[in-house]
Amino acid sequence: MSGPVEIVEMGPRDGLQNEARLIPAAEKIALVDALSGVGFRRIEVTSFVSPRWVPQMGDAAEVMAGITRRAGVGYMALTPNLKGYEAARAAGADWIAVFASASEGFSRANLNCSISESLERFAPIMAAAHADGVQVRGYVSVVTDCPFEGHVSPRQVTRVAQALHEMGCAEIALGETLGRGRPEAIAAMLDAVGQAVPVAALAAHFHDTSGRALENVDVALEAGVRVFDAAVGGLGGCPYAPGAAGNLATERLAAHLRGRGFDTGLDEARLAEVAEMAAGLKQGEVRA
């Protein structure tokens, strides 16, 4: 196998949202600006959620206003409801993302509502985005294992992914939130989802808690997936998934894909520099 593979950079949003230190907007802006020079086609910058739930993202509008936009880079923002969507649009988000869960337990913990209720909340967002000509990405969390319910069946994942696709999401990102998913479970899940949603519309999002993220990337590649999420420096985790480690590190994923013969279009030397910067940011010491 060979050809192009897109890595969607999640560090500024998914990577930082659970950091204990309240990171100043200027440092977040510096991180996004540095990432913009690496060659990403999309960077998820922030989320327009209530600062009561995610204090780290309370400066979303300020960060979006402060970044230096580069041609060819799409700047994404996560939005839980129509109010968030309107704020993201006002801030100039190129893509917006909505997020659902494949398990009822995780939906209740993460969104404080059932899966069906979460999908209902997305309807006005999808209508507004369609009217505005804005692309929407849909996330599905806990696609193999849930911290509250254990095993998540491929049928559950397929139901939610198909619903998001039929609502108009241009891309569905399948999140292995806990980092416990074994390759065989990933393969079964992708086989099921791929029968309901075109594989070209799927992305994979792996955490590396059990050290299997790159094995699972290989399984997804075999299934035809060509878009992967990652976070520079392995930033991240999930506040509603106890024990989940960080996201798969972008620099590790880029090197792995290159070794497999795929072209990510990323400047790996610059990426390594930004990974150092991300490490400094976690420690309260941004390294240029």
Pairing label, strands 202-206, 227-230: parallel
The tokens for 241 are 């998934």
d(CA 102, CA 174): 10
Is 99 strand, coil or helix? strand
Is 108 strand, coil or helix? helix
Which member of 113, 146, 169, 238 is catalytic?
Answer: 238
- Of 45, 46, 48, nearest in space to 86 by CA: 48
The tokens for 118 are 């979460």
Report yes or no: 284 and 242 within 8 Å, Cβ to Cβ. no
Element counts in the chain: helices (H) and strands (E): 10, 12
Burial 89-105 (b: 16+ CB within 10 A, else e): bebebbbbbbbbbbbbb
Strand partners for 75: 43
Q: Is 238 a catalytic residue?
A: yes
d(CA 138, CA 2): 27
Write the single-letter amino acid at 71.
A
**Which residues are the active-site residues?**
238
